[in-house]
A and B are shown apart, each in its own frame.
Chain A
Amino acid sequence: MTGLAVQDLFVTLDQTQVLHGVSCQTPPGGWLCLIGPNGAGKSTVLRAAAGLLTYGGTIRLGEADLGSLRGRARARAIAYVPQAPVLPPDMLVADYVLLGRTPHLGYLSRPGRRDRLVAEAALGQLDVSQFTGRRLEQMSGGERQRVVLARALAAEPSVLLLDEPTSMLDIGHQQQVLELVDGLRRSAGLTVVSTLHDLTIAGQYADELVLLNAGRVAAAGSAAAVLTPDLIAQVYSARVEVRKGHDGRPVVAPVRNVQ
């Protein structure tokens, strides 16, 4: 059980500064969701936490400084699912999920019995055990997303980074995948940090929302505090109205400008 704390994160890509001192954190077992318009820097925060880019500032994983962890140790603690994972079309689902065990393998060792068992368990948790012998290209969008999540879980991480995990899915499959993630978080104490485009859905699943705008934190807190018509108008240049759903969480509805 490990939380994640990002402190004063600066990132420069191609000589352009894209993050200007972003701070956010989540306790162990929490779900932190980054929202904000395209190009706000949401994915960059996740990529920094996954160890994919150099950054200024600190990212702490529990007590440990992420920068002090080397590749495999970091990969054992943090699993990263990009927005568009590369899925080799010919690869079998079973082999793909087994790749998730990579951080646990010594340089020259090969996956053993325990690795296979963990991979099988991950497939079971996401209810895709029946697809192990299929090739990745034979899977539908929703099935693929679950297989990708199974690969992430096979690493037995304490933190799961999900970049737009539902962007390719219809609303039913979005709910299905997010419920699965939420269940894993509750049963296994997994800490989840995700980005999500759909503000209503983000408010329904996350404990903490962080609204990014042009590489800075514009607002952070509960869904009710962050999802306000004024903030959304200011950051997204969007016209919305916010209602209260039956669970008390905000529902963000776009409003058309009728002349």
Chain B
Amino acid sequence: MRPRRPGSRAALIGAAAAFVVAAALVSVFVGAANLNPVAVATAMAGKVPFLGVHSGLSPLDSAVLFQIRLPRIVLGALVGALLAVTGAGYQGVFRNPLVDSGMLGASAGAGLGATIAIVYLGGLGPAVVPVAAFTGSLAGVAIASLAGAIGAARGSLGSGTATLLLAGIAVGMFLTAAQTVVLQRSAQVLQQVYSWLLGSLSGASWQQVIEILPYAGVSVAVILLHGRHLDVLSVGDDEARALGINPQAVRAIAIGSCALAAAAAVAVSGLIGFVGIIVPHVARRLAGPSYLMVLPLSLLGGAGFLVLADTLARTVLAPSELPIGVVTALIGAPAFIWVLRGTRAVDT
């Protein structure tokens, strides 16, 4: 049932890549402005220099395609890839398949950051919210890591990963409480904060793609390069160390790059849950537990999954939009129960 030959591993990666392309194609053609497939193809060809193909789209359709729909698809793919890879990376670090990309205070920190920006820094314009969410997310992980390190140094919970997870939960709750305090004082922005918290790609632009690309590139590259090290961690710290690997160093590098990836995603999309759990789980079901496969498959699967989820988000209730976080939760919660059903007892 599980693939063993290198050939079938390449086939799985190929299938996942095809899934991304298919999801993008579906998303291009579905929407309020019905775009003609042939016209879209010629319009795309027209963007290639020296081909001399003229766009078959009207100027309005052309703007819909190139300025609204395509950046949204690319941004959605990027965010989905980041969330899924982060989830998979954290699952390797904590040896627990139920850990998500928003843990360790990342989501709560982003939420607090965005809320503070909306409530107190609204005068500086909308561009301040992503920066605040990005900073808040990283700060949340930093505080949780610090709390976890202090707890692990004084406590007795083994290698410290369990302490870190618990510290992350506590820090997350604290930051969420702080966010509520801020919100209570300014109920008039409730709607705006609320819609940010539920996640949306409706403001997607090429500008946002370019802004998060460096963070996404660096963090994903570092995570993918540590797949083998995460596999070694799966036999526990003692045996990993006896094999010449430094588990603390691997965990620190992986957590740092996962935190960066999650912060980049949350900055442009708000809080989108479940992607980081479901996608790696499906990857694991298809390819087995090795992170050499789970990480790249999650990257591609997450990209395709979020593009499809976003297509649903903007079409199901058209002309109004459903928050994408609601769509992933509606699909994700039942899927999560399916994950639980097939999950063994885990140790952290």
| Secondary structure of the B contact surface, majority rule | loop
Question: Number of B interface residues, CB 8 Å?
Answer: 23
- Contacts A89-B344, A92-B2, A108-B225; is A82 near B244 (CB within 8 Å)? no
B157 → chain A, closest Cβ, in Å? 14
CB within 8 Å of B: which A13-67 residues: 47, 50-52
Minimum CB–CB distance from B285 to chain A (whole Å) comes to: 10
Q: Are A102 and B288 touching (Cβ within 8 A)?
A: no
> Quick one: which of B272-305 are within 8 Å of A by CB?
284, 288-290, 292
Number of interface residues of A (CB under 8 A): 36
Write the nearest CB–CB distance from B75 to chain A, whole angstroms: 30
Report A57-88 CB contacts with B as 1/0, cut-off 8 Å: 00000000000000111111011101001111
Q: How far is the CA of A47 from the CA of B289 in the complex (A)?
A: 28
Please state if A51 and B241 are interface contacts (CB–CB under 8 Å). yes
Smallest beta-carbon distance B239→chain A, Å: 6
Would A71 and B241 count as touching, CB distance under 8 A? yes
B236 close to A (CB within 8 Å): yes
Interface stretch of the complex, out of B14-22, B197-205, B226-234: B226-234
In the bound complex, residues from chain B placing their C-beta under 8 Å from that of A135 are 2
A215 within 8 A of partner (CB): no
- Alpha-carbon distance A95/B292, docked complex (angstroms): 11
Judged by a CB distance under 8 angstroms, whether A139 is at the interface is no
**Does any Cβ of B come within 8 Å of A99's Cβ?**
yes
Contacts of A92 in B (CB 8 A): 2, 4, 288
Q: Which residues of B contact A (CB under 8 A)?
A: 2, 4, 225, 228, 231-232, 234-236, 238-239, 241-246, 284, 288-290, 292, 344
8 A-B pairs whose Cβ atoms sit less than 8 Å apart in the complex: A51-B241, A71-B244, A71-B245, A88-B235, A90-B289, A91-B234, A94-B4, A111-B228
A52-B242, A99-B243, A110-B228 are known; give 9 further A-B pairs, CB within 8 A: A50-B241, A80-B242, A82-B238, A85-B239, A87-B235, A89-B344, A94-B4, A102-B232, A155-B243
- 8 tightest CB-CB pairs across the interface, nearest first? A75-B244, A72-B244, A86-B236, A80-B242, A102-B243, A103-B244, A71-B244, A90-B289
Task: Identify the A interface with B (CB < 8 A).
Answer: 47, 50-52, 71-76, 78-80, 82, 85-92, 94-96, 99-100, 102-103, 105, 108, 110-111, 133, 135, 155
